[in-house]
Structures are given as structure tokens and as C-alpha cells.
């Protein structure tokens, strides 16, 4: 049962290269399957989420993070009667454009590009991957995904001003994305805010006390867990507290979005698109809690002394290799060398680096730098 404001697969704007319908999978299910079978998707397994030198195999990488986002997104989409297939597809593809070494890699790549008057943006890069770089079909380049999936790749997490991004005009930049795409930005946050507390605790960078002092919602949940399970181990109390916090975020996102949709009077996808703001949102109270958790993680985990060395090294490696290939384009794989005839060399070097896994870029550094 789909809500009246959900995306309907039978009304898709379709694919760039028309294809015959599949006998038993709808278009969004096919897109989901194309993404799961893409090489760029498999590479997520070896891309940093938070920890580059993972001292434990239990820490998230970008693939396990992606699976968690898909799980949360499906649950919420079902509750809101949104299109679950489209939502799942958008969740699975949402981080496919991330370079190696997480945000440090992204920052270094963007800085290197700025020296050539260009920039790096992981959503735009994701679109290049699915439209261009994946070579699986004899009939066309890329994965030939439906419009709604390509639109969601671009628009799920931010608005791109139409005057600054004329190359994205076809994605209706003056309109809001469908609710299925709006959802992904916030389920992404639920996933990493809770998972990074978990991994940070497991890494012994964060302690229960530190989190309690910095994240009031976690402190309340932890007090509740302690009361309910006074004899449980510290780790299990921590898990219970994190679960309560997690459920609080998910439940609020469902209920508050439902209320906002109702209050807006929006009754169709067209009205979702033309509504002046995004309708998927946390309530103001929970939004404060979400922000507190995020700020806590920035201050105590992402920019902690423990992760600083990894970050600095990651930025150096990306910067050095970028510079190396700019000076020695003959050392690029031949397929990239030929692309440099039609696009700026910096863009080609950027594409090459952005596609790498952590292991692959480390091997390149050994080979070319030292």
C-alpha cells in the first residue's frame, strides 16, 4: 500500500536508453540490483567510514554503513507508506561516490582540485560512476538507472542552486526531491551518529562517562538501561542505551514526518516536489539531540588526537599522488590517459583517485611516492 504522496514506479520518467520491462522485477528493483552488482559498490568494503587503521574487524566500513542505512531507510519508508524499492536503492547508492580515506580523502581531493579551478563533490562523482564509469552492458555506458534514482543521488543530501549547476538542470533543481530521497539524508545521520558512538566506544576512544557528559539523550537512555539491567555488563548496558537512543531517533523521524505531511496538506508527489521545504524532518526536540550527538562525535572522535595521525597521513597521500599524476600523466592507466583528451587532466586524476579503495591507494603510494 503506497501513500498518495509516494513515488510510483509505473510513473517513472524512465531511463536514458529505453529498455524492455523485466518479467518480474520492477524498474526500481532492477536499479537496486544493478547497484549491488556494480564494481563501485563492492569497493565500498575497503573504503574508510571513520577508522582507516581498523584495529578491529567489527568497525564499520563504507559498505556495512551503507547496509545499515538501507535497513533503517526501509523500515521508515514502510511506516510512511513510501516506495520501499526506490528508498532502498537510494540508500544503497548514497555513498558510492566516496573516495578512499573517508572525509579526509574527500577534503584532500577537493583541495587538490581547487588548485586547478575545479572541485570534488561526492554526489556529483556518484552520478559520474553510475552514468559513465560502470561498464557492464553492451548497449550503453553506465548502469542506465531510472531518472528518480539519478535525481536522488544528486538531491538527497543538499540543494544545488540551479544557476551554479547548469549541468544538472535535468534534475529539477528548483523542486524538492521525493520523500524517498529526502529520507536518506536523515537515515544516514541516524546510522552514523549511533554507529560511530558504538565504534568509538569499542575503540576505547570514547567512554560511557564521556558520552553521557556530552550527549544528554544518551545519558538518559543509559540511566534507563542501568535501572532496568543493574547486573548487566558495562558493554551490554551501553548497547541497551544506544538501542534506546537509536529507536528514539527512528520513531521521531517517522512520527514527525507523518505529522508534517498531514499538516502540509500535501497529497501527491507533485505537491511534495513543489512544497517550499523538505517534509522529512526530526521534531525540534530530537533535532537538538541529534545535533548534540553529531557535535560530540566531531569534537571527541572525528577530530580526536587518536584519529589525527591517520587523517594527516590520508590527506598527504591523496595530495602527493594527485600531484604525481598531474606531473606524470603517462603513468596513469591507458584508459585514463585517453580520457584526458576530452576533459581536464585534473578531473581525470581526481576520478582515478576517487574510485580507489584504501588498500589500492596505499599500494600506489608505495609504488610511486616511496
> Toward Mg ion, which CB reaches closer, 31 or 196?
196
Smallest gap from Cβ 299 to Mg ion, in A, equals: 20
Cell numbers for 311? 587523517
In the numeric block, the cell 536523515 is attached to 186
Interaction with Mg ion in 169-228: which residues (CB under 5 A)? 188
Smallest gap from Cβ 69 to Mg ion, in A, equals: 6
Cell numbers for 274? 513543489
In the numeric block, the cell 564521556 is attached to 210
Choices 87-95, 107-115, 121-129, 207-215 (CB under 5 A): range interacting with Mg ion: 87-95
> Toward Mg ion, which CB reaches closer, 103 or 141?
103
Smallest gap from Cβ 60 to Mg ion, in A, equals: 10
Are 356 and 365 a contacting pair, CB within 8 Å? no
| Opening angle at CA 122, ends 168 and 107, nearest 5 | 130
Q: Which of 95, 180, 315, 358 binds Mg ion (CB under 5 A)?
A: 95
Choices 91-99, 194-202, 233-241, 256-264 (CB under 5 A): range interacting with Mg ion: 91-99
> Toward Mg ion, which CB reaches closer, 188 or 199?
188
Are 150 and 130 a contacting pair, CB within 8 Å? yes
Smallest gap from Cβ 216 to Mg ion, in A, equals: 25
Smallest gap from Cβ 184 to Mg ion, in A, equals: 8
- Does the footprint of Mg ion cover residue 68 (CB under 5 A)? no
| Cross-strand bridge partners of residue 48 | 61
Spatial separation of the C-alpha atoms in residues 302 and 299, rounded to whole Å? 7
Element (H, E) at 296: helix 284-297
Spatial separation of the C-alpha atoms in residues 229 and 237, rounded to whole Å? 7
| Cross-strand bridge partners of residue 61 | 48
Are 180 and 82 a contacting pair, CB within 8 Å? yes
> Toward Mg ion, which CB reaches closer, 188 or 289?
188
Q: What is the DSSP letter of 163?
A: T
> Toward Mg ion, which CB reaches closer, 92 or 173?
92
Smallest gap from Cβ 138 to Mg ion, in A, equals: 32
Are 87 and 35 a contacting pair, CB within 8 Å? no
> Toward Mg ion, which CB reaches closer, 48 or 146?
48
Taking the chain, what is the end-to-end CA distance rounded to the nearest angstrom? 58
> Toward Mg ion, which CB reaches closer, 64 or 337?
64
**What does the per-residue mask of binding to Mg ion show for 340-369, with x meaning CB under 5 A?**
------------------------------
Spatial separation of the C-alpha atoms in residues 116 and 325, rounded to whole Å? 14
Spatial separation of the C-alpha atoms in residues 30 and 175, rounded to whole Å? 26
> Toward Mg ion, which CB reaches closer, 69 or 84?
69
Smallest gap from Cβ 62 to Mg ion, in A, equals: 7
Smallest gap from Cβ 98 to Mg ion, in A, equals: 8
Site of interaction with Mg ion (CB under 5 A): 95, 188
Amino acid at each position: 500500500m503506497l501513500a498518495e504522496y509516494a513515488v510510483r514506479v509505473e510513473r517513472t520518467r524512465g531511463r536514458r536508453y529505453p529498455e524492455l520491462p523485466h518479467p518480474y522485477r520492477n524498474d526500481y528493483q532492477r536499479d537496486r540490483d544493478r547497484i549491488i552488482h556494480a564494481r563501485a559498490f563492492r569497493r565500498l568494503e575497503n573504503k574508510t567510514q571513520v577508522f582507516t587503521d581498523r584495529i578491529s574487524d567489527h568497525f564499520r566500513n563504507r559498505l556495512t554503513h551503507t547496509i545499515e542505512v538501507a535497513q533503517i531507510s526501509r523500515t521508515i519508508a514502510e511506516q510512511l507508506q513510501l516506495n520501499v524499492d526506490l528508498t532502498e536503492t537510494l540508500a544503497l547508492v548514497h555513498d558510492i561516490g566516496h573516495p578512499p580515506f573517508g572525509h579526509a580523502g574527500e577534503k584532500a581531493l577537493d583541495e587538490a582540485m581547487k588548485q586547478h579551478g575545479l572541485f570534488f563533490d561526492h554526489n556529483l562523482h556518484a552520478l559520474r560512476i553510475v552514468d559513465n564509469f560502470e561498464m557492464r552492458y553492451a548497449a550503453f555506458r553506465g548502469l542506465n538507472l531510472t531518472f528518480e534514482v539519478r535525481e536522488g543521488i544528486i538531491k538527497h543530501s543538499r540543494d544545488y542552486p540551479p544557476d551554479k549547476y547548469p549541468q544538472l538542470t535535468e534534475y529539477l533543481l528548483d523542486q524538492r526531491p521525493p520523500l524517498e530521497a529526502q529520507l536518506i539524508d536523515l537515515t544516514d545521520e541516524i546510522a552514523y551518529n549511533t554507529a560511530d558512538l558504538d565504534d568509538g566506544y569499542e575503540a576505547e576512544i570514547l567512554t560511557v562517562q564521556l558520552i553521557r557528559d556530552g550527549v544528554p539523550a544518551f545519558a538518559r537512555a543509559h540511566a534507563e538501561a542501568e535501572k532496568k539491567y543493574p547486573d548487566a555488563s558495562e558493554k551490554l548496558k551501553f548497547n541497551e542505551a544506544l538501542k534506546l537512543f537509536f529507536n528514539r531517533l527512528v520513531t521521531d523521524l517517522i512520527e514527525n514526518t507523518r505529522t508534517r505531511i498531514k499538516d502540509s496538506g500535501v497529497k501527491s508527489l507533485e505537491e511534495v516536489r513543489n512544497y517550499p521545504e523538505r517534509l522529512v524532518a526530526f521534531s525540534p526536540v530530537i533535532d537538538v539531540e541529534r545535533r548534540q550527538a553529531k557535535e560530540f562525535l566531531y569534537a571527541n572522535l572525528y577530530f580526536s588526537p587518536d584519529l589525527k595521525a591517520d587523517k594527516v597521513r590520508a590527506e598527504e597521500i591523496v595530495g602527493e599522488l594527485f600531484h604525481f599524476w598531474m606531473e606524470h600523466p603517462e603513468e596513469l592507466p591507458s584508459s585514463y590517459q585517453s580520457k584526458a583528451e576530452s576533459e581536464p587532466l585534473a578531473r581525470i586524476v581526481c576520478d582515478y583517485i576517487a574510485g580507489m579503495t584504501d588498500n589500492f591507494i596505499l599500494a600506489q603510494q608505495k609504488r610511486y611516492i616511496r
